């Protein structure tokens, strides 16, 4: 009974906050009206606008506090170098291209390769290598590795954390020998035993595939990985803004408008329509799709975020280099026991050298270096020198700090995020995307498919 009373009271509080001063806002004659409004101009926001147009919305407005399109698809131009904030690879069969086919001709075809720096100090295949992680270990280590797998399978009846998930499939011995355990701590920002298994399942399904006996035997017989069936692509040399400007042109040709680099104010609803203050404007929309962080949309609605949802603040270091780098792969993960950095991407492998110098970006969890780029640079130099990497002329060209880079599931965050989305759904707000649904979406393909599924589901529910 108490739970029912609290739920009723909470619902009344929500609607009370939501309807406060509504009449003044929505009845104003200077309001701009649209069939639909999309908050956020990242991949999910652009795809949402395309879907809404296909579903019959003649006027769609896309709003973002960023002054650029693409959300966290960010590049930084420093002199003649253009670096990515992150590591982005696309494919020519991506569903994103069904919405924006103009993008395909702008991408650069690439043939990327992935490697990892191991705790033993050498570079090998990512994410696991039968030859280096298993065969190279020797008979005694084989016994210890397979023994730890058996122990893990027998003792871990319930998988609660990311560490449990990884240990169940490859055992605690291989977890540390391969370096995966060290990498997990870098990726999440805190110990993997504190991260919910649901997040591990989203991010690390490859562990299960690599650990299955039949897959191990197949790789032993045919160690060379099959070529990907699709063409791998990188963004154009001009950067993401140049790329997504073509998407904007297509959407605008079909009636969409954009407000970028603006501050969003109070969001309210009355008589089935939404109203949001944007600077000195008043925007009214019949349908509202949010792809911005959950805490932000809650604040716009006047709702207090009931529970903290953790996200990673990503630091990127931008380097140019002349010399022998010590590895041949274009993308290198840090699986060693030391070093704060988690991944680097050799952009010059895709775009060519600039002035005879290679250039690359390095990613790390900013909290590991107290958000200090100088400390991150010193740590990277010391660690790579100790592992005989980048021993030539290494120059730090710049850095970038990105908040809310990706969500982390900890302390029942998945359930808490679902609760927040359910509350928003009761208000008629469709919250989707990596930020809007607190869902780790590693690729544009994944974001596109999930945006399509969410909005098509809502359309079907409305018509039934």
One domain for residues 154 and 301: no
Asked whether residue 112 is domain-assigned, the answer is no
Asked whether residue 200 is domain-assigned, the answer is yes
One domain for residues 195 and 261: no
Asked whether residue 228 is domain-assigned, the answer is no
- Which residues have CB under 8 Å from 453's CB, separation 6+? none
189 pLDDT more than 80: no
13 pLDDT more than 60: no
pLDDT range class, residue 464, cuts 50, 70, 90: low
Asked whether residue 232 is domain-assigned, the answer is no
Q: Which long-range contacts (CB under 8 A, 24 or more apart) does 180-187 make?
A: 180/127, 180/128, 180/207, 180/335, 182/119, 182/334, 182/335, 182/336, 182/337, 183/116, 183/333, 183/334, 183/335, 183/342, 186/334, 186/340, 186/341, 186/342, 186/364, 186/365, 186/368, 187/342, 187/365
* Strand order through the sheet with 232-234: 90-91, 232-234, 108-110
pTM to 2 decimal places: 0.88
pLDDT digits (tens, 9 = 90+) for 283-293: 999 999 999 99
pLDDT digits (tens, 9 = 90+) for 367-426: 999 999 999 999 999 999 999 999 999 999 999 999 999 888 887 788 889 999 999 999
Whole-angstrom CA distances from 327 to 82, 332, 339, 408, 412 are 22, 9, 17, 31, 40
One domain for residues 363 and 348: yes
One domain for residues 316 and 305: no
Q: Which regions of 380-454 does DSSP assign to beta strands (E)? A: 393-407, 429-431
User: Please, what is the Cα angle at 12 between 9 and 13, to 5 degrees?
Assistant: 85
Q: How far apart are CA 346 and CA 352, in angstroms?
A: 10
- Is the Cβ–Cβ distance between 281 and 32 less than 8 Å? yes
Q: How far apart are CA 240 and CA 247, in angstroms?
A: 11
The residue segments making up the domain with residue 385 are: 311-407
One domain for residues 321 and 254: no
One domain for residues 324 and 354: yes
What pairs with residue 285 in β-bridges? 34, 274
Closest by CA to 379, choosing from 336, 325, 411, 350, is 336
Closest by CA to 268, choosing from 259, 277, 260, is 277
Per-residue confidence (pLDDT) for residue 112, from 0 to 100: 97
One domain for residues 51 and 186: no
pLDDT digits (tens, 9 = 90+) for 55-102: 999 999 999 999 999 999 999 999 999 999 999 999 999 999 999 999
Q: How far apart are CA 235 and CA 233, in angstroms?
A: 7
Asked whether residue 265 is domain-assigned, the answer is yes
The dihedrals phi and psi of 175, each to the nearest 5 degrees, come to: -55, -40
One domain for residues 303 and 446: yes
pLDDT digits (tens, 9 = 90+) for 250-279: 999 999 999 999 999 999 999 889 999 998
Residue carrying structure tokens 């709702």: 303
If you average pLDDT over residues 173-188, what whole number do you get?
Answer: 90
Q: How far apart are CA 293 and CA 351, in angstroms?
A: 33
Q: How far apart are CA 77 and CA 361, in angstroms?
A: 12
If you average pLDDT over residues 226-233, what whole number do you get?
Answer: 79
Asked whether residue 114 is domain-assigned, the answer is no
What pairs with residue 346 in β-bridges? 360
The conformational region for residue 289 under phi > 0 = left, psi -120 to 50 = alpha, else beta, is beta
Q: By mean pLDDT, which of 152-156, 180-184, 348-352 is the weakest?
A: 152-156
Q: How far apart are CA 216 and CA 227, in angstroms?
A: 18
Asked whether residue 45 is domain-assigned, the answer is yes
Q: How far apart are CA 348 and CA 352, in angstroms?
A: 5
At 295, which CATH number?
3.50.50.60
The per-type count for the chain, helices as H runs and strands as E runs, is 17, 19
Q: How far apart are CA 385 and CA 371, in angstroms?
A: 22
Whole-angstrom CA distances from 116 to 183, 195, 383, 413 are 10, 23, 14, 30
């Amino acid at each position: 009974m108490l739970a029912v009373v609290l739920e009723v009271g909470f619902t009344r509080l929500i609607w009370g906050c939501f309807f406060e001063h509504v009449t003044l806002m929505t009845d104003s004659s200077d309001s701009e009206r649209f069939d639909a409004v999309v908050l956020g101009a990242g991949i999910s926001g652009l795809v949402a606008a395309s879907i809404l147009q296909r579903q019959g919305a003649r006027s769609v407005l896309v709003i973002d506090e960023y002054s650029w399109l693409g959300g966290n698809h960010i590049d930084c131009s420093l002199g003649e170098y253009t670096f990515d904030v992150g590591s982005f690879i696309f494919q020519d069969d991506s569903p994103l291209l069904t919405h924006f086919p103009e993008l395909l001709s702008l991408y650069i075809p690439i043939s990327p390769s992935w490697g990892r720096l191991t705790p033993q100090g050498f570079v090998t295949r990512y994410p696991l290598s039968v030859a280096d992680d298993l065969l190279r270990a020797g008979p005694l280590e084989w016994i210890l590795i397979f023994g730890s797998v058996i122990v893990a399978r027998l003792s871990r009846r319930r998988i609660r954390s990311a560490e449990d998930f990884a240990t169940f499939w490859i055992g605690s011995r291989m977890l540390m020998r391969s370096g995966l355990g060290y990498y997990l701590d870098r990726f999440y920002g805190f110990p993997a035993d504190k991260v919910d298994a649901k997040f591990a399942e989203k991010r690390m399904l490859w562990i299960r595939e690599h650990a299955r006996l039949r897959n191990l035997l197949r790789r032993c017989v045919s160690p060379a990985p099959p070529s990907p069936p699709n063409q791998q692509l990188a963004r154009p040399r001009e950067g993401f803004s140049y790329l997504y400007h073509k998407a904007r042109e297509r959407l605008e040709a079909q009636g969409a408008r954009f407000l970028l680099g603006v501050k969003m104010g109070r969001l309210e609803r009355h008589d089935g329509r939404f109203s949001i203050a944007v600077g000195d404007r008043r925007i009214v929309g019949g349908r509202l799709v949010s792809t911005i962080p959950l805490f932000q949309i809650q604040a716009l609605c006047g709702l207090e975020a009931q529970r903290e949802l953790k996200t990673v603040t990503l630091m990127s270091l931008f380097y140019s280099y002349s010399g022998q780098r010590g590895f041949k792969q274009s993308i290198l993960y840090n699986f060693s026991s030391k070093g704060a950095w988690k991944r680097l991407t050799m952009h010059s492998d895709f775009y060519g050298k600039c002035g005879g110098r290679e250039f690359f970006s390095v990613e790390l969890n900013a909290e590991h270096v107290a958000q200090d780029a100088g400390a991150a640079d010193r740590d990277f130099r010391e660690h790579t020198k100790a592992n005989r990497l980048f021993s030539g002329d290494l120059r730090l060209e710049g850095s970038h700090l990105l908040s809310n880079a990706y969500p982390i599931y900890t302390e029942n965050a998945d359930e808490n995020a679902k609760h927040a989305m359910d509350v928003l759904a009761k208000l008629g707000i469709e919250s989707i995307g990596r930020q809007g649904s607190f869902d780790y979406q590693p690729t544009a393909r994944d974001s596109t498919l999930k945006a399509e599924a969410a909005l098509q589901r809502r359309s079907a529910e409305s018509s039934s």
